[in-house]
Amino acid sequence: MRGVILDCDSLGPEDLDFSALYDLPIEWTVYANCPASQVAERIADADIIMTNKTVLNADALSQAPKLKLITLTATGTNVVDLAAAREQGITVCNAVNYGTASVVQHVWSLLLALTTKLQSYSSSAMEGGWAKSEFFCLVEYPVRELAGKTLGIVGAGDLGMGVAKIAEAFGMQVLFAALPGRTYNEDLSRVPFSELLPMVDVLSLHCPLTPQTEGLMSTAELALMKESAILINTARGGLIDEPALVNALVAGQIGGAGLDVLSVEPPVNGNVLLDSNIDNLIVTPHSAWIARESRQRLMGQMVENISAFLEGKALRRVN
C-alpha cells in the first residue's frame, strides 16, 4: 500500500519522531511541500494521503483512483473537497485537540505581553532607557492587572475551556458568547454576543471560520467594546475584518489586539495589520500550535488514524 505525505515541512519534522508512522505497512513517499500544479501527479498512485494545507480538490481526487484514505494533519477540513471524496468512497480523517496546551499557552502569552507592555519595557531596557532613569525602575507604560477583569470567550470547545481555566487562576470572571442564529445546550450559561461585547475587558476567539462567523468582529462589533478592551485571535484570521481592526486600534477605540492568524497565510502580498507603527498590536505567524509536544501528539494521531483504517475501523472520521 502506497502513502504520500504532501507537505511534510509544514510540520517542522526536524525534531519529530516519525518511527511509528514509518513502521506501518505503508510505502511512503514524502514531499517537503507540494505546489498545486503537482498535486494530481503526486497522488495518482496513492492509497493514503497525509496533508496539512495542500488542497485536494475534486479534480485532483478524480485522478487518484486508488485513493482510500486522506488523513489531515490539522483539525480543519476545508482543504479537502469532502463531497468529492464521499462520491469516490474516500475516507477522510483529521486530528483533534492535539495542540490545546500549546494554543492556550500562546493565548496567555499574547494577553500577558499586551497587559504588561512587555515589548515596550524590554525595548526600553535594551535601548538604554532604563540606564537613564533617575530611579530603580521605569513606569513609562501603563500596566494592568487581570485580576477582577472580565474575559469573554467565543467558542466553548477544548481551547475555549482551556483558556477559561487559566483565567480563573488569574481571578478573572469568564463569560461565554452566544452567537446570533446558533442554538446551544443548557450545560453552559452564555451571554448574547452583542450584550457580551461591552462587558468584557478581554475577548478571545476560539470558534471555527464558517460563512456565519466570517467577519464576526467588524466595525459595529468593535465599536461595542470598551476602549481598554483587548482582542485575542488564535483561531482563524477571517473571523476579523482586518481594516476595521486597524482603524479601531489606531483610533484608540479598543485597547489592543494579539493575533496569531491572518486572513491570508502566508501574507505574501502584505496585510494591513503588519504595521510596526501600531504599538498596541502583536502579530505572531500562526505559531500557537507549534510546541514540539503538540506536533508529536499530532503525529501520534496520524498513526492511530491509519492503523484504525487498516483494521477496517474509523477514527476521527469527518466524512
Question: Within the chain, what is the greatest distance between any pair of CA atoms?
Answer: 74
Taking 90 as the threshold, does the pLDDT of residue 186 lie above it?
no
pLDDT of residue 319: 87
Taking 90 as the threshold, does the pLDDT of residue 182 lie above it?
no
pLDDT of residue 163: 98
Give yes or no for a contact between 267 and 286, defined as CB atoms under 8 angstroms apart: no
pLDDT band at 183; cut points 50, 70, 90: confident
Q: Same fold for the domain at 2-98+292-310 and the one at 100-283?
A: yes
**Active-site residue, 236 included:** yes
What ranges in 19-99 are assigned the alpha helix state H? 19-22, 39-43, 58-62, 82-87
Return the percent helix, strand and coil in the chain, to nearest 5: 35, 15, 50
Per the residue annotation, which of 2, 144, 190, 286 is the catalytic one? 286
pLDDT in tens, 14-58: 999 999 999 999 999 999 999 999 999 999 999 999 999 999 999
Cα–Cα dist 37/177, whole Å: 42
pLDDT of residue 51: 98
pLDDT in tens, 251-265: 999 999 999 999 999
The domain segmentation of the chain, as residue ranges, is: 2-98+292-310, 100-283
**What are 113's three cell numbers?**
505581553
Per the residue annotation, which of 106, 206, 236, 295 is the catalytic one? 236
pLDDT of residue 254: 98
Q: Is 35 exposed, middle or buried (0-12, 13-18, 19+ CB in 10 A)?
A: exposed
Fold of 100-283: Rossmann fold (3.40.50)
Taking 90 as the threshold, does the pLDDT of residue 170 lie above it?
yes
Average pLDDT over residues 255-276: 97
pLDDT of residue 296: 98
Phi, psi of 154 (to 5 degrees): -105, 110
Fold of 2-98+292-310: Rossmann fold (3.40.50)
**Active-site residue, 106 included:** no
pLDDT of residue 249: 98
Contacts 24+ apart (CB under 8 A), 82-86: 82/318, 82/319, 83/58, 84/57, 84/58, 85/56, 85/61, 85/319, 86/319
> 131 Cβ partners below 8 Å, 6+ apart?
none
pLDDT of residue 15: 97
pLDDT in tens, 61-95: 999 999 999 999 999 898 999 999 999 999 999 99
Cα–Cα dist 306/319, whole Å: 15
**Active-site residue, 87 included:** no
pLDDT of residue 14: 97
Percent of the chain at pLDDT exceeding 70: 100
Amino acid, single-letter form, for residue 19: S
Q: Which residue has the cell 446570533?
A: 180
Peptide bond connecting 243 to the previous residue in cis, omega within 30 degrees of 0: no
Per the residue annotation, which of 27, 145, 168, 265 is the catalytic one? 265
> 218 Cβ partners below 8 Å, 6+ apart?
240, 241, 244
